[in-house]
Copies of this chain bind each other. A is one copy, B any other.
C-alpha cells in the first residue's frame, strides 16, 4: 500500500470514523481503522460490531493494499500535521507517514483480521432532506429510553410511507413525534426501530455535513444511511414498538396559547424550588382570569410563583409535571407560541408549536 492524500481530507475522514473505534480490550482490532487503498481512493472503515462507518478519501493510490492501525492515534497524529500532502506507505507491518519534516512509523494489525461489515441490499430506498432529518432527530431522539431494560423503546421508531417519514421516541414518561416529508420513496408502509446509539452517531455525522439529501436503505435487520461519501450501517432493534397512538388524548378539557419564552422562564424559576426527587411543578389554568400559574414549593427552601397572562379556553384545570420533562419539551418548540392541551391530572398533557405542523410532545402528569 502506498498513497498520497491531503491532510485536510484525511483529517476530516479520520475525525468522523475514529469515534466508533472504541477501546475494546476483548477484540483489539476494533480500536483500529481499516485503511483500504483501492480503485483510486482510500477507504476508511471502523466498526463496533453493532454499527460501522465507511468513508472514502480522495487520493493518489500508487500501490493498492490494506492495513489497520489504532484509529485514535492515527486521527490525533494526522490532526497535528500541517495542511500539506501526506505520504503513507506500508512496509511489512509498519505504516510510514511523511509530511514535510514530520516522520512517523505506526505499528498495526493485518487487514485480514478486521471484521467484515454487513452489506445492505439497496432495495428499500427512502430519500429525505438532510436538514429535515437533522431537525427531527434533535427534537425527538432525546425522549428515547436510555437504559436498555425495555429494548424496544431504547431506540427511535421510523415509520415509513410513500410520502412521509414519522420519527418517534418515548421513555414512557414523555413522547415526541415529528413527521417529515420524503423526497423520494421506494418503500411500502413499514416500521423499524433504530438504536439510539446509531441515531447519535448519525447526528454526529450530520452535524458537519453540508450534503442536501440522505439516502436510507433498510431490510428486516439492518439500516444503511448514505450521506455523500459516507456510509453508516447499523443493526436494527427487534421487537414491537408500543402502539403509542392510543395514549395520545383526544378529549381535551382546557386549551391554552402560551408564549414559549415566558413559560420556560417560569418553569426554570419554579424548578429551583421543587421537592427533590419529585421535581414537581404545578400548573394551574384559570380561563376566567386568563392566567396560568406556575408554582413550586419546598418545606426547606421556600416557594416560587409566577402568574402568566395567557389565552385559555375550557374548564379550570390543574396538572403537575416533572419540570425536567416539561423543560425538555419547551426547549424543542421553535415557535413563539405553543398550544397546551390538558384533560385532567391522570391523562397526558399535549404541547404543540403554533405555526408548525407535524411536531407533538406529550408528558405524563405526576399524580398527587
Does A39 make an interface contact (CB < 8 A)?
no
Q: Is A304 a contact partner of B103 (Cβ separation < 8 A)?
A: yes
Does A70 make an interface contact (CB < 8 A)?
yes
Q: Is A300 a contact partner of B107 (Cβ separation < 8 A)?
A: yes
Q: Is A265 a contact partner of B104 (Cβ separation < 8 A)?
A: no
Residues of B within 8 A of A277 (CB): none
Does A302 make an interface contact (CB < 8 A)?
yes
Does A111 make an interface contact (CB < 8 A)?
no
Q: Is B104 a contact partner of A308 (Cβ separation < 8 A)?
A: no
Q: Is B107 a contact partner of A77 (Cβ separation < 8 A)?
A: no
Q: Is B104 a contact partner of A304 (Cβ separation < 8 A)?
A: yes
* Segment 20-43 of A: residues with Cβ below 8 Å from B: none
Most B C-beta atoms less than 10 A away, residue of A70, A76, A301: A301
Q: How far is the CB of A292 from chain B (nearest CB, A)?
A: 11
Interface string of A287-318 (1 = CB under 8 A from B): 00000000000001111111110000000000
Report the separation of the CA atoms of residues A305 and B100 in the bound assembly, to the nearest whole angstrom.
Answer: 12
Report the copy number of this chain in the oligomer: 2
Q: Is B302 a contact partner of A80 (Cβ separation < 8 A)?
A: no
Q: How far is the CB of A114 from chain B (nearest CB, A)?
A: 18
Does A181 make an interface contact (CB < 8 A)?
no
Take A265-B80, A269-B77 as given contacts and tell me if A103 and B305 are in contact as well, using a CB distance cutoff of 8 Å. yes
Does A102 make an interface contact (CB < 8 A)?
yes
Take A265-B80, A302-B94 as given contacts and tell me if A104 and B273 are in contact as well, using a CB distance cutoff of 8 Å. yes
Q: How far is the CB of A221 from chain B (nearest CB, A)?
A: 37
Q: Size range of the interface on A?
A: 20 to 34
Does A49 make an interface contact (CB < 8 A)?
no
Which of the residues B95, B104, B302 comes within 8 Å of A104, measured between beta carbons? B302
Interface string of A104-115 (1 = CB under 8 A from B): 111100000000
Residues of B within 8 A of A269 (CB): 77, 80-81, 102, 104
Report the separation of the CA atoms of residues A98 and B75 in the bound assembly, to the nearest whole angstrom.
Answer: 54
Report the separation of the CA atoms of residues A77 and B305 in the bound assembly, to the nearest whole angstrom.
Answer: 12
Does A73 make an interface contact (CB < 8 A)?
yes
Q: Is B301 a contact partner of A101 (Cβ separation < 8 A)?
A: no
Which of the residues B73, B268, B302, B306 comes within 8 Å of A272, measured between beta carbons? B73
Q: How far is the CB of A243 from chain B (nearest CB, A)?
A: 39
Q: Is A104 a contact partner of B305 (Cβ separation < 8 A)?
A: yes
Q: How far is the CB of A169 from chain B (nearest CB, A)?
A: 29
Q: How far is the CB of A77 from chain B (nearest CB, A)?
A: 5
